[in-house]
Amino acid sequence: MNTSHLTRRAVAAILLTVGMSGVSWAQVATAPATAAPAACPALLKHEFARLQDDAPQNLCQYAGKVVLVVNTASYCGFTRQYEGLEALYAKYQSLG
């Protein structure tokens, strides 16, 4: 069994859950203007290789943002299921 694959899927699921819950929380809580930038939460202290070039991708850069993680299994180009994801991105990208 490939535990790295399972770990990545678990982290992806957690990120999606935390990202979505962070949206509603962020609308309720407002930070004072003098507040220091938040540190990277432990959940995001991970790096993954990007699919296209294996460059490390630090998840801390997404702290406080809504993230949709799509777990792909190949180097296939644009496929039919990505069309819906592209539509979601186009619809909501202006909201952050």
Single out the catalytic residue among 55, 76, 90, 95: 76
pTM for this model (two decimals): 0.42
Pairing of strands 47-49, 56-58: antiparallel
Return the structure tokens found at 49.
Answer: 């290789």
Number of domains observed in the structure of the chain: 1
Residues paired with 48 in a beta bridge: 57
Pair of tokens at residue 8:
């990545």
Contact 71, 8 (CB under 8 A): yes
Q: How confident is the model at residue 91 (pLDDT cuts 50, 70, 90)?
A: very high
**Is 76 labeled as catalytic in the residue annotation?**
yes
Query: With contact defined as beta carbons under 8 Å apart, do 64 and 29 qualify?
Result: no
Q: pLDDT by residue (tens digit) across 18-66?
A: 444 443 334 444 444 554 556 888 888 999 888 789 899 999 998 888 8
Range of the domain at 87: 3-95
The answer to whether 67 and 16 have CB atoms below 8 angstroms apart is: yes
